[in-house]
Copies of this chain bind each other. A is one copy, B any other.
Amino acid sequence: MKAFNSDHIASFDKRYRTNFINSLTGFKSVALIGSKNAEGTENLAIFSQIFHVGANPPLIGILFRPHTVSRHTLENILDTKEFTINHIRKEFLKEAHHTSARWEGSEFDACGLHTEYSENVKAPYVEEASIQIGCSFSEKQTIQANNTELVIAQIMEVRIKEDIIGEDGFIDIEEAGTLTCSGLDSYHATQKIARYAYAKPDKKLEEI
């Protein structure tokens, strides 16, 4: 094992440090966020900092870096209060990654992905996605340490194939083809190992 301390990390070349630190927090969710600006222009961008915040009320969180390509999405969410989260499958991974370029106009057209609308959400879904989540803005906080913006949103709608939902409510996202990512740019499929029952001190671990 090699140990890197704060001084080593601070002395890294910027790009090297970005790759290194981004890899450390493990595998991440990766999804496309669909939104619209006040004029109605559609936007689509890939994000890897989306996470679970609570089940009741159903809340998700997204971290936004200030002054990056993802700024349009944040502005759209603050302006129009609604957006969608769309899981990414291998079949349209390249198109999904390509949304991160600095396009003028809609990334749907530019990258060859298709919009889909529901009656309940103003923002566009990605037709190709097998798990689609409609969200409504709830609150924004600023991380003092680096001015990152944290958006908390409530889940308004979930569109999904029923056959991937288990009897206990667990959604088999691996069966749905959902990918994961690591670092800035590495995409991975998954292979299920096991589900384990709620752990108790006096009980052997059970698979479910």
- Stretch of A33-41, A71-79, A165-173 that contacts chain B: A165-173
For A93, what are the chain B residues with a Cβ–Cβ distance below 8 Å?
193-194
The 8 A CB mask of A168-202 against B (1 = contact, 0 = none) is: 11110110001110110111111111111111110
Contact, CB under 8 Å: B199 / A59: no
A97 at the A/B interface (Cβ < 8 Å)? yes
Interface of A is mostly: mixed
Bound form: Cα–Cα A15–B167 in Å: 11
Contact, CB under 8 Å: B205 / A94: yes
A44 at the A/B interface (Cβ < 8 Å)? no
The 8 A CB mask of A15-33 against B (1 = contact, 0 = none) is: 1111111111111111100
For A21, what are the chain B residues with a Cβ–Cβ distance below 8 Å?
52, 54-56, 58, 155
A154 at the A/B interface (Cβ < 8 Å)? yes
Bound form: Cα–Cα A17–B54 in Å: 10
Bound form: Cα–Cα A53–B94 in Å: 25
Contact, CB under 8 Å: B31 / A29: no
* In the complex with contacts A1-B159, A57-B145, A152-B143, A183-B199 CB distance below 8 A: no
Contact, CB under 8 Å: B52 / A28: yes
Q: How far is the CB of A15 from chain B (nearest CB, A)?
A: 7
Among A15, A53, A57, A160, find the residue whose CB has the most chain B CB atoms closer than 10 A.
A53
Q: In the complex, given contacts A94-B196, A174-B182, A185-B208, what are 10 additional A-B residue pairs having Cβ atoms less than 8 angstroms apart?
A: A3-B159, A17-B58, A26-B180, A27-B27, A48-B52, A51-B51, A53-B145, A97-B205, A100-B198, A141-B150
